[in-house]
Structures are given as C-alpha cells and as structure tokens.
Amino acid sequence: MKKTLALVVGARPQFVKAAPLLRALDGAFRAWTIHTGQHHDRDMSEIHHAQLGLPRPRFHLGVHGGTHGDQTARALAGVERVLLRQRPDAVIVFGDTNATLAGALAAAKLNIPVAHVEAGLRSHVRAMPEEVNRVLTDHLAHWLFVPSARARAQLAREGIRRGVWGVGDIMRDAVRLFGGAADAAPDPRWGVAAGDYYFATVHRAANTDDPARLRAILRLFGSLDRRVVFPVHPRTRARLKAGALSTPANVAAVRPLGYVESLAAQRGARAVLTDSGGVQKEAYYLGVPCVTLREETEWPETVAAGWNRLTGLDPRRVRAALARPRPRANTALYGDGHTAEKIRDVLLNPATWPRGTGR
C-alpha cells in the first residue's frame, strides 16, 4: 500500500518548492497539501498554483495576518486538526516560514515523522523569525534534506548527523522545469529595455516594518542609474501606504508577479537587488548578478562564486556591487536540478523510516 504524505505550505516560495516534489511523488505516494494561508491573495497564491500545475490544496486553513506568535499558533492548531483526522504517514515541510514550524511541530507532537526540505541553512541572526523557524524545524525533523555540504556541516555542529541527506536545492528543479517558459522580453508597461533595468524585491519584516529602513531603500532605488522594476509584496505595499511613502520616478512599482513572470523579469535584468533568499538563488541559476540588501545570507556559496554581493543598504556598496564585472562562469552549485527525485527515492526506502513505520 502506498504511503500518504502531507505537504504543508503557506507562502509563495513553498508553492514553488512543492511543485517539482509533487510531480516526482506522483504514482509513488499518495500526496496532498495543507495550505495554512499565510499568502492568500491571488497574486501571492492562486496564480502560482495555476502556473506551476499544482493541485488545489486539499485543506486550506485560512491563517494569515497577526503577529508571528499568533499566526504560528493558529497554523499549529489547524494543521494538528487535519493530521488527527487524516493520519498521514509523514509530513513534509519546506524552508523557514511560520507554516514550516507549525507543520513540523504539529506532526512531531503526534509522533508523525517530519521531512524538512532545505534543512541546515543558517543566517546566524536569531532576530530573524525565519532563523528561529529553521533551527527548531531541523531539530524536530527525521529526514533532513540539505542543499549543500555547508548545510550538512552546520547540522553536524548542532549535533544532527543522522537522517541527513544531500539532495541539492529543489528551487533548481523549479527553474529547470519552468524557466524555459520565461521570456526575457520585459512587459512594455514597465518602460524598460531588456538588459537595461534592475529587478528588485523587498519583503523581509526587518526592512518593511521599519519606516526608516523602508525610506532608505526607496532613496537607494531612486539613486540608481537605471530604471528599477519593483514588484511590491503585499506587506511592503501596506507599509508604503501607512507611511504615505511614494516610489521614486525611476521605479516601476508593479503588482507581485507570477513565478514564470518573475523568472522572466530577472532573466531580462542587468542585475537583481533583493532581501530574499530564494531570489538570490534564482538570479544565480539564471546567470544574473545579484545584490543582497542584507549583511548576511543563507546561501554563501553564491557570494563565494562571485554572483552575489552583500551590501546592506549602503548606497556606495550597492553601486560598487552593481558596477562589478560579471563573473566569467556559472559554477554548478546546489545539485543538478533533480532534487525532487532524490527526495522521493529516499522516502521510498523503508530503511530510512523510523522503526515500525517502514513498508
């Protein structure tokens, strides 16, 4: 009998990561999703399901808004109710959102084994909610699917050596599967030419919830020598409205893009500016230089390879990073784009399951 796997998702990056894995699991397992609802509007949820061929979530909890603690608690209670009724054989969580921690904690308390996709990543900044989520999830998980040797070594430093599997980065799978449909010709409404604009994303609470930092980001964008295409995250848009902040004349503030459109916009850009971990990797996979508006990254290999620069919000550092020569080669980081199949094969092996749960 096929085992049943429940995939817990809640935010846009998790839909992207779930898409290739659900493809790989099809036929080998009964797999379905629980959507906690963290990203719930069309621009951040439904459009990605349509573009990536994702089935509709079997369960939608409608949990969004509120503080981190409130949101996590409501998601935890909602996931637990589903797991108590459905009793899947295992729960799979992705990345580092509140949905990640809620899914892992609900499953662990019910003695349902947890698989963490994107395990072992660290920013080493505990003030980031994502850091707390990823650390706790790793210490709850039975299978830890790491994208790099660095992530494996980090887990070993924390005493986690069993159940760690080097499989690569599942977002490389997504770019391989869906990037071919990403036409680099920019939307004519943006008023830009291919290769002559910057693509920017800003969504982390440390940047959006601090009015001074958000104003500094807008000033930074306004000081750049090219037009900036800036898909505005709903949280960021709300903060801009609350602070009566307007975008500079050279910034095209557009609605959030679907995954394929986002890849296309990055591919056509001269460079990417972001505070997102996922966008750092997408830019790398697409061969576009990236400037990370933070002082740390969960993906230091992209910095070592020369495709990414950490600048914080210092305009001089940002401009210097944008002016640097393009790297000569795009070295192969984070696997071969077949991470989902590697995860499937590990889960198909009964020896990897906790005692008493194997086939």
Each residue of 76-129: pLDDT tens digit?
Answer: 999 999 999 999 999 999 999 999 999 999 999 999 999 999 999 999 999 889
Question: Are 163 and 202 within one domain?
Answer: no
In a domain, 357, yes or no: no
pLDDT at 357: 57
Question: Are 207 and 319 within one domain?
Answer: yes
In a domain, 226, yes or no: yes
Question: Are 155 and 289 within one domain?
Answer: no
Question: Are 111 and 207 within one domain?
Answer: no
In a domain, 260, yes or no: yes
pLDDT per residue over 277-332, tens digit each? 999 999 999 999 999 999 999 999 999 999 999 999 999 999 999 999 988 877 78
User: Which of 49, 203, 233, 338 does the annotation list as catalytic?
Assistant: 203
pLDDT at 342: 98
DSSP code per residue over 210-255: -HHHHHHHHHHHHTSSSEEEEE--HHHHHHHHHTT----TTEEEEP
Question: Are 106 and 202 within one domain?
Answer: no
CA dihedral (59, 64, 66, 68) positive or negative: positive
Question: Are 59 and 196 within one domain?
Answer: no
Question: Are 101 and 13 within one domain?
Answer: yes
- The residue written with tokens 């696997």 in the block is 335
Question: Are 278 and 192 within one domain?
Answer: yes
In a domain, 329, yes or no: no
Question: Are 14 and 155 within one domain?
Answer: yes
Percent of the chain with pLDDT over 70: 95
Residues near 337 by beta carbon (within 8 Å), at least 6 away in sequence = 168, 172, 173, 175, 176
- The residue written with tokens 């604009």 in the block is 197
Question: Are 66 and 165 within one domain?
Answer: yes
In a domain, 330, yes or no: no
Question: Are 205 and 301 within one domain?
Answer: yes
Where in the sequence is the domain holding 40, given as residue range(s)? 4-169+336-352
Mean pLDDT of 192-214: 91
pLDDT at 225: 95
Residues near 309 by beta carbon (within 8 Å), at least 6 away in sequence = 289, 290, 291, 292, 303, 317, 321, 324
Whether the pLDDT of residue 346 is over 90: the answer is: yes
Whether the pLDDT of residue 245 is over 90: the answer is: no
Least confident of 71-85, 190-204, 326-340: 326-340
Let me know the angle formed at the C-alpha of 313 by 237 and 292, rounded to the nearest 5 degrees.
85
In a domain, 174, yes or no: no
In a domain, 89, yes or no: yes
| pTM for the model | 0.92
Whether the pLDDT of residue 44 is over 70: the answer is: no
Least confident of 152-156, 202-206, 339-343: 202-206
pLDDT at 72: 94
In a domain, 331, yes or no: no
pLDDT per residue over 228-244, tens digit each? 999 998 888 888 888 87
Question: Are 153 and 80 within one domain?
Answer: yes
Task: Quote the number of domains for the chain.
Answer: 2
pLDDT at 241: 85
Mean pLDDT of 177-183: 81
Mean pLDDT of 166-185: 88
Whether the pLDDT of residue 186 is over 70: the answer is: yes
The CATH number for 218's domain is 3.40.50.2000
Residue type, 48: H
Helix runs in 145-233, H state only:
149-157, 170-178, 205-208, 211-222
pLDDT at 359: 37
pLDDT at 46: 63
Whether the pLDDT of residue 201 is over 90: the answer is: yes
Question: Quick one: residue 74, left, alpha or beta (phi over 0 = left, psi -120 to 50 = alpha)?
Answer: alpha
- The mean predicted confidence, pLDDT, of the chain is 92
Whether 139 is catalytic is no
pLDDT at 358: 44
